Amino acid sequence: MSARQLIVLVVAAIAAIGALFVIRGMGGDSEPAATDSSAIAGEQVLVAARDLPQGAALAPSDLAVVLFPSDSVSPSFVRLSSQPSAQADFVGAVTRRPFAQGEPITTGAVVQPEGRGFMAAQLEPGYRAVSLEIEPQTAAGGFIQPNDRVDVLVTTRIDTPDGGEQVNSNIILEDVRVLALGETTQTQTAGEAPQVIQAAVAVLELSAEDSRVLALADEMGTLSLALRGVQVETVGMVRPGGRVPTQQSGSVRVHAFGTVTGGNR
């Protein structure tokens, strides 16, 4: 090998070694940059560790803690920064609605029963659970389910002087939440066909004034429930006992309808 070839090989080796050090140096500089970009400010939030149905009494295995970006944390989320023992505090609480796995637990969607039963924990503040006898075969074909919204109608029959009968039917309560039908308290969320519920009693969520109105109407005539569609548009209507939603003219689209009869008339 000539001296010229030897010099060329030495220069090439030195260049290769230099390039290796440069590449390593670039890699070392980029690593802290990647670490810096991955450091996102966040808060630890209490979430559902599995899919939870409505009315579930929370166990330790139902709850988990996940780091959420600070700008995605709602004030209603349960944050460990303000409640460090939340994962233990919420054991035994009852869910007022279903939760999906990983969904943050919100303060208004769970309630501590404080020694009371399941139904008491499901009620909105200020409301009562009122039962109404129904006939299964006329309960909207059995398709009314817990958490559906219904209107309550009363039908009265009055004897006329000529020996006939005058029949009147009026809506007395609107947009009432159904808490339970018989022993069924869960809403059907899956399946190939709608579930038919055969029940003899419906439990409605009513204000104190609405409870009084229902009891009075039950003595006056026959009570019926009309199932409301989920696409009903509502506006506020003032009625004794509070403000309740009512439908706009021409806006109701009923996807199922039936009557449930209370009492013998």
Query: For residue range 218-244, what is the model confidence (pLDDT) as tens digits?
Result: 888 888 888 888 764 444 444 444 444
In angstroms, the CA 70 to CA 60 distance is 25
Task: Determine the longest span between alpha carbons in the chain, in angstroms.
Answer: 136
Instruction: Round the CA-based radius of gyration of the chain to a whole number and report it.
Output: 32
pTM: 0.53
pLDDT in tens, 124-151: 888 998 988 877 655 566 678 888 888 9
pLDDT in tens, 60-101: 999 999 999 988 888 899 999 999 998 899 998 888 788 999
Q: What is the residue-averaged pLDDT of the chain?
A: 74
Q: What length is written for the chain?
A: 265
Helix (H, G, I), strand (E, B) or coil at 85: coil
Give the number of other Cβ atoms within 10 Å of residue 93's Cβ.
Answer: 20
In angstroms, the CA 89 to CA 60 distance is 10
pLDDT recorded at residue 249? 35
**Between residues 24 and 182, the one the model is more confident about:** 182
pLDDT in tens, 140-181: 666 788 888 889 888 888 888 888 888 888 899 999 998 888
Say which residues have a Cβ less than 8 Å from residue 158's Cβ, sequence separation at least 6.
165, 166, 167, 168
Side chain identity at 236, as an amino acid letter? Answer: G
Nearest to 95 by CA among 123, 46, 125, 55: 55
The domains of the chain are located at: 42-120, 125-247
Q: Is the pLDDT of residue 4 over 90?
A: no
Alpha helix stretches (DSSP H) within 39-162:
86-89, 118-122
In angstroms, the CA 80 to CA 88 distance is 11
pLDDT recorded at residue 38? 53
Side chain identity at 68, as an amino acid letter? Answer: F
pLDDT recorded at residue 45? 93
In angstroms, the CA 109 to CA 208 distance is 23
Q: Is the pLDDT of residue 104 over 90?
A: yes
pLDDT recorded at residue 182? 77
CATH topology of domain 42-120: Type Iii Antifreeze Protein Isoform Hplc 12 (3.90.1210)
Alpha helix stretches (DSSP H) within the chain:
3-38, 86-89, 118-122, 208-220
Side chain identity at 243, as an amino acid letter? Answer: R
Place of tokens 């450091």: 39
Helix (H) or strand (E) holding 129: strand 127-133
Report the C-alpha dihedral over residues 144, 146, 147, 149, rounded to 10 degrees: 30
In angstroms, the CA 113 to CA 90 distance is 11
